[in-house]
């Protein structure tokens, strides 16, 4: 596949666009240019500087996806599948020598089946839009990445997106039963099954979920949906310090309660919310364990959980529905990036009992690299998102954080690995975390990745240079 300099790619891209326009005028294809620049980047790479954007195809059904892939294969042009572009690891990063295949026209909710507890959707359906369609049926789609209002199901599948409710309901993979996929040779295949169980052949559905568009392009997904719980309740526990709050997480594990969400916000995260949202959470404590319970026996659950958190030293309160809603909104979007600061975000996960050690290590890492570190955690599954910041010095370039910020994030990733964790809990490897992936995966395992990739995409056509 094209390893040639970008300058050589232009004629090949032109020929591909011409060929598609000639043979398949029903497919909208935009030529490379300034107006496609947004398609070169995703939310994880948006600070990068690009010149002209890539060519972009907008197929409107599975057959059009096949035609685009076949034409690109014939022209020797790599294809970068793109959902909503909300990914945080550069999975949809494209250069001018590549063709972006956008799924934004594939937005049909094909079917909702309450009896089978499934929905069948095209990849461009936005996560929140699917839930809006499901709600009148008394159903919901569980995976809830923080980007649920803007991210697409196809992108969620490509990254095996996580979210807040994963500890109880699983990540995206646990909610995907079957996929229609266009492979690198342009063939359209169905894998998986609409039944909840099934073990015919290899689990190619799970192999495709999280493969970041490198093994195939999802054109339809059969996802599992669930009845909306009979009750939901928010419980808060504030602690006098970050360390005490982090320690208390283990007390939840020792109960029989498995909340739908357990979030942990450390002292600097609470400070950031107060600063950006005008709240006064810090007046209640220095760290916050924010819990959502759901399902039957909500009073019993609340009692067992509260007792454990009080015993662990927390100031525990069952919130009203209104206050709970405010707290969840603050958790999701209450923090902000301060003017005049460099900011880099991370996404590591550790075995859940090790979370206190991660928080305890931040002070040393921050000192070593002269940065500030804050972190919120999806504590129920050990996934946390550190924010590394530093005041931009006189004359510093806001678009180019000092290398020290990257080094601090890498130290946090190494720490997670040393505790038995992983360098990415839910955002994926994409284009920006390949060096971190190499810290985690052994050479032999990377060889195995390459062999699987070559097996399904021998030409290296689909999203080369991503995912591992």
- Binding to a copy of itself in span 276-295, by CB under 8 A: 295
Q: How far apart are CA 121 and CA 439, in angstroms?
A: 36
Q: How many CB atoms lie within 10 A of CB 443?
A: 8
Q: Does 193 bind a copy of itself (CB under 8 A)?
A: yes
Helix (H, G, I), strand (E, B) or coil at 373: strand
One of 4, 23, 320, 353 touching a copy of itself (CB under 8 A): 353
Q: Is 169 exposed, middle or buried (0-12, 13-18, 19+ CB in 10 A)?
A: buried
One of 152, 160, 242, 272 touching a copy of itself (CB under 8 A): 160
One of 52, 128, 133, 206 touching a copy of itself (CB under 8 A): 206
Who's near 387: CB < 8 A, 6+ residues apart? Answer: 269, 272, 335, 343, 344, 345, 346, 373, 374, 375
Q: Does 31 bind a copy of itself (CB under 8 A)?
A: no
Rounded to an integer, what is the distance from CA 14 to the centroid of its chain? Answer: 33
Are 337 and 329 in contact, with CB atoms under 8 Å apart?
no
Residue 353 C-beta: closest distance to a copy of itself, Å? 3
Q: Does 243 bind a copy of itself (CB under 8 A)?
A: no
Total residues contacting a copy of itself (rule CB under 8 A)?
96
* Region of 10-18, 29-37, 157-165, 274-282 interacting with a copy of itself (CB under 8 A): 157-165
Rounded to an integer, what is the distance from CA 359 to the centroid of its chain? Answer: 22
Who's near 395: CB < 8 A, 6+ residues apart? Answer: none
* Region of 10-18, 96-104, 307-315, 377-385 interacting with a copy of itself (CB under 8 A): 377-385
Residue 240 C-beta: closest distance to a copy of itself, Å? 23
Q: What is the DSSP string of 190-250?
A: EEE-SSS---SS--HHHHHTTSTTSS-EEEEEEEE-EEPPS-EEEEEEEESSHHHHHHHHH
Who's near 74: CB < 8 A, 6+ residues apart? Answer: 19
Are 401 and 415 in contact, with CB atoms under 8 Å apart?
no
Token pair listed for 465: 């240079």
Residue 425 C-beta: closest distance to a copy of itself, Å? 4
Q: Does 152 bind a copy of itself (CB under 8 A)?
A: no
Angle at which helices 403-418 and 355-369 pack, to 10 degrees? Answer: 150
Residue 50 C-beta: closest distance to a copy of itself, Å? 26
Q: Does 165 bind a copy of itself (CB under 8 A)?
A: no
Q: Does 360 bind a copy of itself (CB under 8 A)?
A: no
Q: Does 189 bind a copy of itself (CB under 8 A)?
A: yes
Q: Does 136 bind a copy of itself (CB under 8 A)?
A: no
Q: Does 375 bind a copy of itself (CB under 8 A)?
A: no
One of 110, 132, 135, 230 touching a copy of itself (CB under 8 A): 230
Q: How far apart are CA 168 and CA 165, in angstroms?
A: 6
Q: Does 210 bind a copy of itself (CB under 8 A)?
A: yes
To which H or E segment does residue 30 belong?
Answer: strand 28-30
* Region of 55-63, 240-248, 331-339, 443-451 interacting with a copy of itself (CB under 8 A): 443-451
Residue 30 C-beta: closest distance to a copy of itself, Å? 31
* Region of 259-267, 310-318, 330-338, 452-460 interacting with a copy of itself (CB under 8 A): 452-460
Site string for a copy of itself, 71-110 (x = CB under 8 A): ----------------------------------------
Q: How far apart are CA 39 and CA 102, in angstroms?
A: 9
Who's near 316: CB < 8 A, 6+ residues apart? Answer: 235, 236, 237, 306, 309, 310
Residue 134 C-beta: closest distance to a copy of itself, Å? 14
* Region of 39-47, 193-201, 320-328, 387-395 interacting with a copy of itself (CB under 8 A): 193-201
Who's near 454: CB < 8 A, 6+ residues apart? Answer: 460
Integer angstrom CA distances of residue 52 from 3, 5, 37, 40, 405: 19, 15, 6, 9, 29
Site string for a copy of itself, 396-435 (x = CB under 8 A): ------------------------xxxxxxxxxx------
One of 195, 280, 320, 333 touching a copy of itself (CB under 8 A): 195
Q: Does 467 bind a copy of itself (CB under 8 A)?
A: yes
Are 418 and 352 in contact, with CB atoms under 8 Å apart?
no
Q: Does 234 bind a copy of itself (CB under 8 A)?
A: no
Could you say which residues in the range 296-335 bind a copy of itself, by CB under 8 A?
A: 296-298, 300-301, 304
Residue 33 C-beta: closest distance to a copy of itself, Å? 33
């Amino acid at each position: 596949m094209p390893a040639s300099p970008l300058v050589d790619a232009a004629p090949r891209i032109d020929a591909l666009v011409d060929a598609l326009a000639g043979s398949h005028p029903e497919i909208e294809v935009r030529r490379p240019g300034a107006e496609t620049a947004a398609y070169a980047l995703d939310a994880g790479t948006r600070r990068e500087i690009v010149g002209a954007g890539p060519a972009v195809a907008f197929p409107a059904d599975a057959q059009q996806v096949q035609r685009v892939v076949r034409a690109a294969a014939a022209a020797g042009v790599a294809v970068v599948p793109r959902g909503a572009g909300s990914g945080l690891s550069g999975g949809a990063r494209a250069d001018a020598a590549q063709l972006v295949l956008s799924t934004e026209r594939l937005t049909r909710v094909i079917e909702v089946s309450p009896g089978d507890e499934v929905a069948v959707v095209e990849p461009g359906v936005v996560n929140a839009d699917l839930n809006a369609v499901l709600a009148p049926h008394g159903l919901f789609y569980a995976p809830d990445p923080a980007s649920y209002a803007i991210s697409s199901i196809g992108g969620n599948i490509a990254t095996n997106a996580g979210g807040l409710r994963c500890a109880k309901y699983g990540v995206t993979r646990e909610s995907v039963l079957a996929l229609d996929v266009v492979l690198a040779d342009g063939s359209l295949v169905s894998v998986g099954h609409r039944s909840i169980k099934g073990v015919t052949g290899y689990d190619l559905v799970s192999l495709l979920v999280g493969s970041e568009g490198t093994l195939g392009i999802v054109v339809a997904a059969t996802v599992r949906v669930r009845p909306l719980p009979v009750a939901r309740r928010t419980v808060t526990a504030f602690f006098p310090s970050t360390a005490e709050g982090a320690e208390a997480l283990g007390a939840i594990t020792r109960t029989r309660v498995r909340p739908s969400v357990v979030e942990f916000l450390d002292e600097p995260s609470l400070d950031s919310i107060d600063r950006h949202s005008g709240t006064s959470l810090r007046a209640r404590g220095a760290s916050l364990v924010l819990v959502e319970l759901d399902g039957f026996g909500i009073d019993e659950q609340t009692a067992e959980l509260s007792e454990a958190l009080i015993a662990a030293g927390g100031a525990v309160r069952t919130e009203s529905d209104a206050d709970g809603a405010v707290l969840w909104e603050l958790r999701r979007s209450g923090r902000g990036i301060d003017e005049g600061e460099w900011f880099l975000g991370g996404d590591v996960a550790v075995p859940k009992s090790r979370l206190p050690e991660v928080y305890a290590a931040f002070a040393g890492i921050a000192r070593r690299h002269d940065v500030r570190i804050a972190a919120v955690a999806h504590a129920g599954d050990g996934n946390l998102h550190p924010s590394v910041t530093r005041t931009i010095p006189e004359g510093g370039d806001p678009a180019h954080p000092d290398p020290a910020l990257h080094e601090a994030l890498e130290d946090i990733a190494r720490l997670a690995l040393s505790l038995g964790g992983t360098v990415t809990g839910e955002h994926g490897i994409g284009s920006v975390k390949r060096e971190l992936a190499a810290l985690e995966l052994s050479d032999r395992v990377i060889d195995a990745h390459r062999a699987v990739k070559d097996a399904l995409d021998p030409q290296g056509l689909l999203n080369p240079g991503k995912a591992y």
